[in-house]
Chains A and B, each alone.
Chain A
Amino acid sequence: MCFPAILSKAPFVMKFWRGLDAPVLFRDSCTINHFMNDVLIHASKLTRRYSVGKSVVAALSDVELTVPPGEFTALVGPSGSGKSTLLNLIGGLDRPSSGEVRVDGLSLGAASETELVRYRRERVGFIFQSFNLLPTLTARENVEAPMMLAEVPQRARRERAAALLESVGLAARMLHKPNELSGGEKQRVAIARALANRPLLLLADEPTGNLDSKTGGAVLDLLCGLHEEQGLTMIMVTHDPEIAARASRIIHLRDGGIQRIETTHLAEKMP
């Protein structure tokens, strides 16, 4: 991706992240930093080992990866290939055993617990296969939760939660609890929640895995729309080649390493 292209895109992206009334959540230096370098995520020699009993298993070994901002990347591979591990490392839910992963200038392996918490809260939105909504809260309260953690005032977060739910087509289901929602609706709530704090990065782990093909397709359309219209950087783990085909880049993983990187025709459409 060339430098002028990014510049032309930047104002729009900025507008989406911050909005007009949003509290300042990001350090300016970092925001500038990744535009200058044209890199949002950079992993080098990224390795994650787990000890299973007495033996040590490498879920991920020596992965080299660079993701520019605004890209939609699909991580595919058979189960145990390390795609979820990679996603969790990028999301700051896990720490590398060795090597490094930098997101937006922050080295996640070396970051302090406080920095990592802030990173998860302010720059990453997670979408899970099993939705992971808080069962006792209503849809709106679920969307408000990350903003509550970010200390957004109650009125502002209520308004934003309502707006987000409306944008995912759930204006009428706002006061329903998760067990009163269908799978597709739950995942929409989860998407709205992931967007609540205006993240840099959306991480989705098999977001359509628990949905039938029709609702799954609708959820995928929604996510792709976010990427295309609002330029949100997105990494999605999937095992479905059809879904992966909608990404601009497909990273094939096998046995904890990158097997090959495939650039789809969609990449050419990108500005």
Chain B
Amino acid sequence: MTLHDQIRTALSNVGRRKLRSALASLGVVVGTLTIVIMVSLAAGVRQQINRQFASIGLDRLTVDPPGGGRGGFNSGGFDPFGNSARKKIITAQDVSRWKQLPGVTRVSPEINLPGSVGLELKWNGTNQAVRMSGTEPMRGMFFQAPPEPIAGSLDLPESGGIVLSAGTAQAFGVSSNDFAGVIGRNVEAVLRTSRGETQSYPLRVQGISQDRSRGIQVSITDRIAMKGWWFNSTNVLEREGYDSVAIRAADVTRASALTAQIRQEGFQVQSLEIVVEVANRIVTAITVMFTLIGSIALLVATIGIANTMVMAIYERTREIGILKAMGASRGEIRRMFMMEAGFIGLIGGVIGLLLGWLAGLGLNQIIPVYLRYRELPVRGDFFVVTLTLALGVIVFATFIGLVAGLLPAQRAAKLDPLQALRHE
């Protein structure tokens, strides 16, 4: 029997019992659908991550002192005796040296206050609790573009400057129309210990950022002073150095060169490139997990196909006997049923792929509506069916069918022709 004839025979046999073939392939449809949706979601998320990171720029890197965390009591910067855990500190000299490096457009040293610091903003006689933010938007804002100024400028002078978030300004009763009028006003940042001691720092408002949380950004010199007062130390910068330094490079290539160079100097350097890599690794792990779940569904589908094939062979025992009497070999009978099972898998795979693809297309339309409603700045497709996925899933579904057909087909092939002919 030629291959062409075998394929034709198998196809027409699958078509003979349409409902049963359809039910048998339903399991494959479900399994394939699961895999397609999960893997296309993972592919979409991966694309999304890359796009989002690119939009906030891969041209930035963060330098941390080795051994210590982000500074402050509770973040691991000190050992139990109050000594610095940092093996190497970021000095003012380092910062000014980095400023001179070619391709560096901006260097922003950061000082973080411990989480336990009570920070308030005093303005027009009222106090409001606020949170201190770094000057460079980077950490914890992976899916957000950098904040834009609503009024004034976000660039802080070395000392005496403050940037308010829109949320903070509104907390003091400033309506969004009056933001421009706030620029240049004098405010006070107040540190308060749990024992009630306070220290205030006069600052001048430089600008208002669109950030809706209650945050402030303060000039570096004032932050050093705040940390010094908090830790009761006059030389906090000399002892601890900066808690981190954000460096902006001219371009991505320059950023990765700087990453390598500063790491060579013995500092910990984090660039978004690494974060992207880690994120992608996580997505890969999730993809593998989801694919496994879908594969389990497909493996369960083999039971359905195998059952269908066993039934079909029982039903067609006499036909098998006739074919054997006409001179069909065991191999031909086996291949005939294997192909039938393979086709059931293939059809299920194709249907599952189409359904998964359509579901993804639909969700790609619905999700942005929701995101716009929630005002999340995420755009683009979440479900992406790649060619590899499409081909892979079809091949896998067919393979599953063939595996399911293996034993039943073997049974059919081994039937004794005489007994098969006597079968009613």
Chain A residues within CB distance 8 Å of chain B: 88, 91, 93-94, 113-114, 117-122, 126, 128, 132-136, 145-146, 148-151, 154, 193, 197
Q: What chain B residues lie within 8 Å of A145 (beta carbons)? A: 323, 326
A93 and B328: CB pair below 8 A? no
The 9 A-B residue pairs whose C-beta atoms are closest, nearest first, are: A121-B327, A120-B327, A117-B329, A146-B326, A132-B322, A93-B417, A148-B5, A126-B325, A149-B327
Chain B residues within CB distance 8 Å of chain A: 1-2, 5, 9, 12-13, 16, 318-319, 321-330, 332, 417-418, 421
| Interchain CA distance A76-B1 in the complex, whole Å | 36
Q: A88-B418, A93-B418, A128-B421 are in contact. Are A134 and B328 (CB under 8 A)?
A: no
| Interchain CA distance A102-B272 in the complex, whole Å | 83
**CB nearest to B12 among chain A residues:** A136
Q: A93-B417, A93-B418, A120-B327 are in contact. Are A149 and B1 (CB under 8 A)?
A: yes
Q: What chain A residues lie within 8 Å of B9 (beta carbons)? A: 148
| Interchain CA distance A71-B294 in the complex, whole Å | 65
> What's the minimum C-beta distance from A246 to chain B, rounded to whole angstroms?
25
> What's the minimum C-beta distance from A79 to chain B, rounded to whole angstroms?
14
Q: What chain A residues lie within 8 Å of B421 (beta carbons)? A: 93, 128, 132
A149 and B332: CB pair below 8 A? yes
Binding site of B, secondary structure by majority: helix, strand, loop or mixed?
helix
Q: What chain B residues lie within 8 Å of A122 (beta carbons)? A: 327
Q: What chain A residues lie within 8 Å of B418 (beta carbons)? A: 88, 93-94
Q: A128-B421, A132-B421, A134-B319 are in contact. Are A120 and B12 (CB under 8 A)?
A: no
Instruction: Please indicate which of the listed interface residues B5, B318, B319 has the most CB atoms of chain A within 10 Å of its own CB.
Output: B5
| Interchain CA distance A103-B12 in the complex, whole Å | 36
Q: What chain B residues lie within 8 Å of A135 (beta carbons)? A: 319
> What's the minimum C-beta distance from A25 to chain B, rounded to whole angstroms?
11
Q: What chain A residues lie within 8 Å of B16 (beta carbons)? A: 136
| Interchain CA distance A241-B324 in the complex, whole Å | 31
Q: What chain A residues lie within 8 Å of B325 (beta carbons)? A: 91, 93, 120, 126, 132
> What's the minimum C-beta distance from B293 to chain A, rounded to whole angstroms?
39
**CB nearest to B322 among chain A residues:** A132
| Interchain CA distance A134-B16 in the complex, whole Å | 13
| Interchain CA distance A135-B315 in the complex, whole Å | 12
> What's the minimum C-beta distance from B333 to chain A, rounded to whole angstroms?
10
